[in-house]
């Protein structure tokens, strides 16, 4: 992947969410999210605040030097930070990924799906990605279901770079052509909920 122009002012609005570049303003809720062992078990495991600080800075820095990274996701009705979702491809990653993680308080509301759809559109339309993966732990049934709702299929086991190289992962995904063929139908189904 080549670097894109800086996009640090990128904001995407969906019916219920606002996606924007992460800042340290989200530090406290992000810390609470990553301290929740159940919510964090498949996305780097529970982390102390010092590690969370570095993670936020990594995401914000990737926007500056790479032109994209995951978005901070905010609930429109409350303004609350509810997670991080979006495009992600650090060095030696197994492919260009749209990933997700939302706080447990909003599980079941469809926020991860809504933000993932917006992120898939961004990856295809703005970044020009021709293929998108989701690296999902084989036991993470909820993320597998979300990937299926997006139209992605399990492509089989993958290999993550250090320090995650010993963690099992399945690579789910689809091509941009497949996404373009089904995105309107997926969006209609989500809107009808």
Q: Once rounded to an integer, what is the mean pLDDT over residues 142-170?
A: 95
Please give the pLDDT value at position 130: 98
**Inter-axis angle of helices 111-125 and 176-191, nearest 10:** 140
Please give the pLDDT value at position 189: 82
pLDDT in tens, 6-64: 567 899 999 999 999 999 999 999 999 999 999 988 887 889 999 999 999 999 999 99
Please, what are the domains in the chain? 11-191 (3.40.630.30)
Please give the pLDDT value at position 5: 54
Name the β-bridge partners of 133: 97, 173
pLDDT tops 70 at residue 177: yes
Q: Once rounded to an integer, what is the mean pLDDT over residues 142-168?
A: 95
Is 80 or 46 the better-scoring residue by pLDDT? 80
What confidence category does residue 172 fall into, taking pLDDT thresholds of 50, 70 and 90? Answer: very high
Strands in the chain per DSSP E:
11-13, 17-20, 71-75, 81-88, 97-102, 131-136, 153-157, 170-175
pLDDT in tens, 99-125: 999 999 999 999 999 999 999 999 999
Structure pTM? 0.93
């Amino acid at each position: 992947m080549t670097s894109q122009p800086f996009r640090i002012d990128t904001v995407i609005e969906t019916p219920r969410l606002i996606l924007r570049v992460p800042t340290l303003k989200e530090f406290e809720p992000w810390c609470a999210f990553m301290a929740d062992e159940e919510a964090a078990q498949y996305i780097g495991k529970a982390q102390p605040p010092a590690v969370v600080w570095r993670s936020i800075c990594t995401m914000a820095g990737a926007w500056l030097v790479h032109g994209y990274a995951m978005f901070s996701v905010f609930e429109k009705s409350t303004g609350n930070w509810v997670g991080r979702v979006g495009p992600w491809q650090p060095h030696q990653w197994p492919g260009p990924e749209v990933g997700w993680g939302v706080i447990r308080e909003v599980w079941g509301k469809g926020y991860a799906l809504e933000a993932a759809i917006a992120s898939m559109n961004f990856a295809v339309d703005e970044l020009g990605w021709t293929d998108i993966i989701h690296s999902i732990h084989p036991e993470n049934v909820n993320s597998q279901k979300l990937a299926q709702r997006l139209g992605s299929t399990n492509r089989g086991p993958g290999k993550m770079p250090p320090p995650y190289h010993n963690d099992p992962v399945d690579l789910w995904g689809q091509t941009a052509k497949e996404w373009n063929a089904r995105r309107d139908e997926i969006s209609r189904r989500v809107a009808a909920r």
